[in-house]
Amino acid sequence: MRVDRVQTANFRNLAGAGVELGPALNVLVGENGQGKTNFLEAIYLFRFGRSFRAQSDAELIRFDEPFCRVEVTSTFADGRSETFACGIERRGNSVHRSIKVAGQLLPRRSDLAGRFPVVLFGPGDLRTVSGEPEHRRRFFDMVGTTTDPRYLRAANEYRRALEQRNAALKARATRDELEAWNERIAEPGAELTLRRRDLALRLEALMAREAQALESPFEFSMRYESSLEPSEATTPDELRQHFLERLRSLMGEEIRRGVTLAGPHRDDVQFCLAGNDLRRYGSQGQRRLFAVLLKLAELSHLESELREPCVLLLDDVFSEFDAAIMGRLQQLFEGERQVFVTTPVELPERQSVRTRVLRVHDGCVDAG
Structural contact between residues 312 and 24, judged by C-beta atoms closer than 8 angstroms: no
Angle made by CA atoms 331, 340, 365, in degrees to the nearest 5: 145
Query: pLDDT category, 16, cuts 50, 70, 90?
Result: confident
Compute the mean pLDDT over every residue in the chain, rounded to the nearest whole number: 92
| Same domain flag for 236 and 263 | yes
Least confident of 20-34, 259-273, 322-336: 322-336
φ, ψ at 196 (rounded to 5°): -65, -45
Residue-level pLDDT at 316: 86
pLDDT surpasses 60 at 156: yes
> Is there a domain that residue 127 lies in?
no
| Same domain flag for 266 and 324 | no
Residue 353, domain CATH: 3.40.50.300
Between 158 and 323, name the one with better pLDDT. Answer: 158
pTM of the model: 0.91
- Residues 50, 2: Cα–Cα separation, whole Å: 20
For the chain, give the number of residues. Answer: 368
Residue-level pLDDT at 151: 97
State which residues form the domain around 252: 132-307
> Is there a domain that residue 273 lies in?
yes
Q: Which of 307, 333, 356 represents a domain boundary (last residue)?
A: 307
pLDDT surpasses 90 at 217: no
Structural contact between residues 18 and 6, judged by C-beta atoms closer than 8 angstroms: yes
Residue-level pLDDT at 241: 93
> For 219-254, how does the pLDDT look when each residue is reduced to its tens digit (9 = 90+)?
999 999 998 866 567 788 999 999 999 999 999 999
pLDDT surpasses 70 at 175: yes
| Same domain flag for 293 and 257 | yes
| Same domain flag for 13 and 140 | no
Going 130 to 134 to 140 to 143, the CA torsion angle's sign is negative
Least confident of 96-110, 163-177, 208-222, 350-364: 350-364
> Is there a domain that residue 356 lies in?
yes
> Is there a domain that residue 192 lies in?
yes
> Is there a domain that residue 359 lies in?
yes
Residue 259, domain CATH: 1.20.1050.90
| Same domain flag for 358 and 341 | yes
Residue-level pLDDT at 368: 64
Angle made by CA atoms 114, 36, 327, in degrees to the nearest 5: 75
pLDDT surpasses 80 at 148: yes
Between 44 and 348, name the one with better pLDDT. Answer: 44
> Is there a domain that residue 124 lies in?
no
**Total structural domains within the chain:** 2
What are the residues facing 88 on neighbouring strands?
68, 97
For every residue of 173-234, DSSP letters joined together read --HHHHHHHHHHHHHHHHHHHHHHHHHHHHHHHHHHHHHHHHT-SS-EEEEEE-SS--TT--
Q: Which of 307, 331, 357 represents a domain boundary (last residue)?
A: 307
| Same domain flag for 302 and 319 | no
| Same domain flag for 298 and 321 | no
> Is there a domain that residue 41 lies in?
yes
| Same domain flag for 169 and 153 | yes
> For 63-87, how does the pLDDT look when each residue is reduced to its tens digit (9 = 90+)?
999 999 999 999 999 999 999 999 9
Residues in Cβ contact with 325 at an 8 Å cutoff, skipping those fewer than 6 apart: 214, 288, 289, 292
In this structure, the number of other CB atoms found within 10 A of the CB of residue 270 comes to 16
Mean pLDDT on 27-56 = 95
Mean pLDDT on 126-130 = 94
Q: Which of 279, 307, 335 represents a domain boundary (last residue)?
A: 307
Mean pLDDT on 258-263 = 96
Q: What percent of the chain has pLDDT over 90?
A: 81
Mean pLDDT on 319-344 = 77
Distance of alpha carbon 51 from the chain centroid: 10
Mean pLDDT on 174-190 = 94
What are the residues facing 67 on neighbouring strands?
89
Q: Which residue intervals of 225-317 are DSSP H helices?
A: 236-257, 278-281, 284-306
> Is there a domain that residue 151 lies in?
yes
Residues in Cβ contact with 339 at an 8 Å cutoff, skipping those fewer than 6 apart: 24, 25, 26, 311, 312, 313, 314, 332, 333
Mean pLDDT on 127-137 = 96
Query: pLDDT category, 353, cuts 50, 70, 90?
Result: low
Residue-level pLDDT at 320: 64
Residue-level pLDDT at 355: 87
| Same domain flag for 86 and 224 | no
Residue-level pLDDT at 189: 96
| Same domain flag for 105 and 138 | no
pLDDT surpasses 70 at 36: yes
| Same domain flag for 167 and 73 | no
| Same domain flag for 287 and 360 | no
